[in-house]
Copies of this chain bind each other. A is one copy, B any other.
Amino acid sequence: MVQFALDYAGVAVCAISGALAAGRRSLDLLGVVVIAIATSIGGGTLRDLLLDRHPVFWIAHTGYLIVAIAAALFTLLYVRYFKPPERLLLVADAFGLALFTISGARIAYEAGVDGVVVVMMAVITGVFGGVLRDVLCAEIPMILRKGHIYATAAIAGATGFVLLKNFDLDPTVPALAGMAIVVGLRLAAIVWNLELPVFSLQDHGRHGDDKKGDD
């Protein structure tokens, strides 16, 4: 029950973030709902397809879809009258990222895959929805440009989860520790505006828009 309530909260937070992002692209009402759904269930869907887990989580439990749609509609109404509470949403989003990431890690771990695949699935569950949102908005995904320690927090938390699973601990310990790492890193990145260095390759004799390996 607690698990479901947390999952639904995570879905709602992601849907709200998706709806707000869509609002900055002047989409129509349905487009906003579609982006909200894609943002909130995209990561878990790709994880389930890759791990061959069927039925996919939102097909098995339609509550996820309904929460995502309701959160998107609520956002549409809310921003008509009020300013979105940006600080609160950033914090809620950090918790949403932690919940998604560690739930992805746990599902992958239980599927018996290697540690590195567990981390990969955790990151996919945590951030792929946002990637999908940005691709649908025809933008380079935020997490690739300067993610402000977004996917990095997911990687660190999932790695902590995997490492702690090697010890004989109560099963909730690795999950809680992993979530704490994600939330901690993410909030620290927001407060101190931390970023990974940008990698730029402009002065090496390649011009225009031609690409290595394609032409």
Which residues in A have some Cβ–Cβ distance to B below 8 Å?
13-14, 17, 20-32, 34-35, 45, 49-52, 54-56, 58-59, 62, 65-66, 76, 79, 83-84, 86, 89-90, 93, 113-114, 116-117, 120, 130-131, 135-148, 150-152, 155, 190, 195-202, 204-206, 209, 211-215
CA distance A209 to B141 in the complex (A): 12
In the complex, what residue of chain B is closest to A201 when comparing beta carbons?
Answer: B23
Contact assessment for B144 and A65 in the assembled complex, using a CB-CB cutoff below 8 Å:
no
In the complex, what residue of chain B is closest to A32 when comparing beta carbons?
Answer: B199
In the complex, what residue of chain B is closest to A56 when comparing beta carbons?
Answer: B50
Contacts of A55 in B (CB 8 A): 51-52, 113
CA distance A141 to B11 in the complex (A): 23
Contact assessment for A140 and B142 in the assembled complex, using a CB-CB cutoff below 8 Å:
no
